[in-house]
Amino acid sequence: MTTKVLAIDDSRTIRNLLRVSLEGAGFEFHSACDGQEGVDVFPDVDPDVVITDINMPKLDGFGVIDTLRGGPNRTNVPILVLTTESSDELKARARNAGATGWIVKPFDDASLVSVLRRLTGHVS
Protein backbone atom coordinates (compact mmCIF):
# COMPACT_ATOMS: atom_id res chain seq x y z
CA MET A 1 0.00 0.00 0.00
CA THR A 2 1.33 3.40 -0.88
CA THR A 3 1.88 5.90 1.85
CA LYS A 4 -0.19 9.04 1.46
CA VAL A 5 1.42 12.38 2.18
CA LEU A 6 -0.51 15.61 2.65
CA ALA A 7 1.78 18.61 2.18
CA ILE A 8 0.49 21.98 3.34
CA ASP A 9 2.51 24.94 2.14
CA ASP A 10 1.53 28.28 0.66
CA SER A 11 4.58 28.31 -1.60
CA ARG A 12 3.92 26.75 -4.96
CA THR A 13 7.64 26.22 -5.34
CA ILE A 14 7.91 24.20 -2.17
CA ARG A 15 4.81 22.18 -3.04
CA ASN A 16 6.32 21.40 -6.42
CA LEU A 17 9.62 20.37 -4.92
CA LEU A 18 7.91 18.13 -2.39
CA ARG A 19 5.75 16.59 -5.06
CA VAL A 20 8.69 15.77 -7.27
CA SER A 21 10.78 14.19 -4.55
CA LEU A 22 7.96 12.32 -2.85
CA GLU A 23 6.24 11.01 -5.93
CA GLY A 24 9.66 9.96 -7.15
CA ALA A 25 10.11 8.00 -3.93
CA GLY A 26 6.80 6.22 -4.37
CA PHE A 27 4.59 8.21 -2.04
CA GLU A 28 1.08 9.25 -2.95
CA PHE A 29 1.20 13.04 -2.87
CA HIS A 30 -1.57 15.45 -1.93
CA SER A 31 -1.21 19.13 -1.24
CA ALA A 32 -3.02 22.15 0.14
CA CYS A 33 -2.00 25.79 -0.19
CA ASP A 34 -2.84 27.06 3.25
CA GLY A 35 -3.51 25.71 6.70
CA GLN A 36 -7.25 26.02 6.46
CA GLU A 37 -7.37 24.13 3.19
CA GLY A 38 -5.06 21.51 4.66
CA VAL A 39 -7.32 20.96 7.64
CA ASP A 40 -10.37 20.93 5.39
CA VAL A 41 -9.05 18.28 3.01
CA PHE A 42 -7.47 16.18 5.73
CA PRO A 43 -10.46 13.86 6.28
CA ASP A 44 -10.88 13.22 2.56
CA VAL A 45 -7.22 12.67 1.85
CA ASP A 46 -6.81 10.62 5.03
CA PRO A 47 -3.03 10.82 4.79
CA ASP A 48 -0.49 8.62 6.53
CA VAL A 49 1.70 11.62 7.23
CA VAL A 50 1.28 15.39 7.09
CA ILE A 51 3.97 17.89 6.18
CA THR A 52 3.14 21.48 7.05
CA ASP A 53 4.77 24.85 6.65
CA ILE A 54 4.63 27.25 9.60
CA ASN A 55 4.09 30.68 8.06
CA MET A 56 0.91 30.47 6.07
CA PRO A 57 -2.15 32.61 5.51
CA LYS A 58 -5.53 31.79 7.05
CA LEU A 59 -4.26 29.12 9.41
CA ASP A 60 -0.59 28.71 10.19
CA GLY A 61 1.28 25.50 10.85
CA PHE A 62 0.69 25.61 14.59
CA GLY A 63 -2.98 26.10 13.89
CA VAL A 64 -2.91 23.04 11.65
CA ILE A 65 -1.30 20.96 14.39
CA ASP A 66 -3.73 22.30 16.99
CA THR A 67 -6.68 21.43 14.80
CA LEU A 68 -5.46 17.97 13.88
CA ARG A 69 -4.31 17.11 17.37
CA GLY A 70 -7.19 18.69 19.26
CA GLY A 71 -10.91 18.21 19.36
CA PRO A 72 -13.02 15.12 19.03
CA ASN A 73 -11.49 14.14 15.70
CA ARG A 74 -7.94 14.23 16.92
CA THR A 75 -5.51 12.17 14.94
CA ASN A 76 -2.19 10.59 15.73
CA VAL A 77 -1.01 10.84 12.17
CA PRO A 78 2.63 11.96 12.12
CA ILE A 79 2.93 15.68 11.40
CA LEU A 80 6.20 17.05 10.13
CA VAL A 81 6.87 20.75 10.31
CA LEU A 82 8.71 22.41 7.45
CA THR A 83 10.79 25.26 8.71
CA THR A 84 13.62 27.50 7.67
CA GLU A 85 14.64 28.02 11.25
CA SER A 86 16.44 25.31 13.09
CA SER A 87 16.34 26.93 16.50
CA ASP A 88 15.74 24.74 19.52
CA GLU A 89 13.02 27.09 20.60
CA LEU A 90 11.05 26.47 17.45
CA LYS A 91 11.54 22.72 17.72
CA ALA A 92 10.37 22.73 21.30
CA ARG A 93 7.37 24.77 20.31
CA ALA A 94 6.55 22.43 17.46
CA ARG A 95 6.92 19.43 19.72
CA ASN A 96 4.79 20.97 22.42
CA ALA A 97 2.14 21.76 19.89
CA GLY A 98 2.05 18.11 18.90
CA ALA A 99 4.32 17.93 15.88
CA THR A 100 6.00 14.61 15.28
CA GLY A 101 9.15 16.01 13.72
CA TRP A 102 10.58 18.72 11.56
CA ILE A 103 12.37 19.24 8.30
CA VAL A 104 14.60 22.23 7.80
CA LYS A 105 14.36 24.02 4.47
CA PRO A 106 16.06 23.72 2.10
CA PHE A 107 15.69 19.99 2.27
CA ASP A 108 17.32 17.38 0.12
CA ASP A 109 15.28 14.54 -1.26
CA ALA A 110 17.18 11.75 0.42
CA SER A 111 16.87 13.05 3.95
CA LEU A 112 13.25 14.06 3.44
CA VAL A 113 12.39 10.59 2.26
CA SER A 114 14.36 8.93 5.02
CA VAL A 115 12.58 10.98 7.67
CA LEU A 116 9.20 10.11 6.20
CA ARG A 117 10.10 6.43 6.13
CA ARG A 118 11.29 6.63 9.67
CA LEU A 119 7.98 8.08 10.80
CA THR A 120 5.64 5.98 8.71
CA GLY A 121 7.51 2.73 8.34
CA HIS A 122 6.98 3.12 4.62
CA VAL A 123 9.40 1.18 2.47
CA SER A 124 9.24 1.45 -1.26
Partner 1 sequence: MSGNSIRDTFFEECEELLEALVEGLSQMEQAPDDMEVVNAVFRSVHSIKGGAGAFALDRLVSFAHSFETVMDKVRDRELVVDEKLMSLFHRAGDHLSDLVDSARDETHLDDEAETGLIGELDSYLGDEAAAEEFSFDAITLDFDGPAIELPSEGDSAAFRVFDIRFAPSRALYENGHEPLLILDALADLGDLTVEADISRIPEFDAFDPADAFLSWHMRLTSSEPETTLHEVFEFVEGLCDLDISVTAGGEEVPVPAPLDPEPSTGTVEAMAEIEAAEPPCEDTPYDGPPRERRKEPRGPKPTLRVDLDRVDRLINTVGELIINQAMISQRIEELDLPTVAHLTNELEAYKLLARDIQEGVMAIRAQPVKPLFQRMSRIVREASDATGKKAKMVTVGDSTEVDKTVIERLADPLTHMVRNAVDHGLEKPDGRDAAGKDPVGTIRLSASHRSGSVFIEISDDGAGLDRERILAKAIEKGLVPPDVELSDPEIDNLLFLPGFSTAGEVSALSGRGVGMDVVKNAVHALGGRVSITSTPGKGTTFAIVLPLTLAVMDGFVISVADQTMVIPISSILETIRPNPRDIHVVGTDSEVVSVRGSYVPIVDVADNLGLTRHDDAGGTGILLLVSTELQGLTALRVTAIHDQRQVVIKSLESNYAAIQGVSAATILGDGKIALILDPEELINLAHASGNDPFAQHSRMELRHG
By CB under 8 A, name the one of 8, 22, 112, 116 that touches partner 1.
112
Shortest distance (Å) from residue 64 CB to partner 1 = 10
Nearest one of 66, 88, 83 to 75, comparing CA atoms: 66
**Please, which residue, 4 or 34, has the CB nearer to partner 1?**
34
Residue 29 belongs to what H/E stretch?
strand 28-32
Shortest distance (Å) from residue 45 CB to partner 1 = 16
Could you give the 3-state DSSP secondary structure of residue 23? helix
Q: Give yes or no for a contact between 48 and 5, defined as CB atoms under 8 angstroms apart.
A: yes
How far is Cα 87 from Cα 12, in angstroms, rounded to an integer? 25
**Binding letters toward partner 1, positions 39-78, x by CB under 8 A:** --------------xxxxxxxx-xx--x--x-----xxxx
**Please, which residue, 12 or 26, has the CB nearer to partner 1?**
12
Could you give the 3-state DSSP secondary structure of residue 3? coil
By CB under 8 A, name the one of 6, 7, 14, 25 that touches partner 1.
14
**Please, which residue, 25 or 77, has the CB nearer to partner 1?**
77
Interface with partner 1 includes 11 (CB under 8 A)? yes
Amino acid type, 26: G
